[in-house]
A and B are shown apart, each in its own frame.
Chain A
């Protein structure tokens, strides 16, 4: 299983762009990179998923370099409501129909200040 490393915490201010980097040096060929957001007392919520290069949706962008040993979640113009814990996961569904156990690390606590 690919192990991920993220900063424990980050601080930002409203309106700024926030970039959270995740290191996954032993990522496998079939692995995808997925990011989740979790607010206090709630279950995690899917943000974005990617395999290589850049993926963008309505809430975030995900940048993955060619070697795929890291990835960066980019949140444009954060607001107070983006204060949450962000998790980076690496894994894949197996070709046989099995299930690669996607592991949540400790995540990055993002605090957005006025």
Chain B
């Protein structure tokens, strides 16, 4: 299993540009999440999904959109990039559900710089 994969690894955008960060998992996990991590800080939840077709907002959803058309994929779209969105973005997946382990599997991250 490849686990959780993210592309691209690095990206530089100009203010106002849009782009999509890709995330895929091959573990048949129902739950997927997107986090951002600013330098020296903990992770903050952007959006999450509890299954295909179901998404919801996390702590810091503004400026980002998500959709979940398949169990495997959970792309994150930046609508109009701003310098405040410069961060490292992590995608994670987990089995979820009552009584399940709370273990989340994280991808390697995408380092985004907005100039």
Contact = CB atoms under 8 A, between A and B. Distances in A.
Contacts of A36: 104
A28 to B, nearest CB: 14
B41 A106 contact: yes
A103 B104 CA distance: 12
Nearest to B88: A41
A101 B61 CA distance: 13
A114 interface: no
B90 A97 contact: no
A87 interface: yes
A89 B101 CA distance: 13
Nearest to A44: B106
Determine which residue in B100, B103, B107 has the highest number of CB atoms from chain A within 10 A of its CB, and name it: B103
Interface residues on A, range: 20 to 34
B41 A93 contact: no
Contacts of B42: 87, 104-107
A97 B59 contact: no
Contacts of B97: 93, 97
Interface stretch (B14-22, B43-51, B72-80): B43-51
Contacts of B104: 36, 44, 46, 102
A103 B45 contact: yes
A106 B58 CA distance: 17
B102 A49 contact: yes
Contact of A49 (B43, B45, B103): B103
Contacts of A89: 102
A98 B92 CA distance: 17
Nearest to A106: B42
B35 A104 contact: yes
Nearest to A32: B102
Contacts of A87: 42-43
A48 to B, nearest CB: 10
A45 B101 contact: no
CB-CB nearest 9 A-B residue pairs: A43-B106, A46-B103, A104-B43, A104-B42, A34-B102, A106-B42, A43-B90, A99-B50, A49-B102
Given A32-B102, A105-B42, 5 more contacts: A36-B104, A42-B106, A43-B90, A99-B96, A101-B59
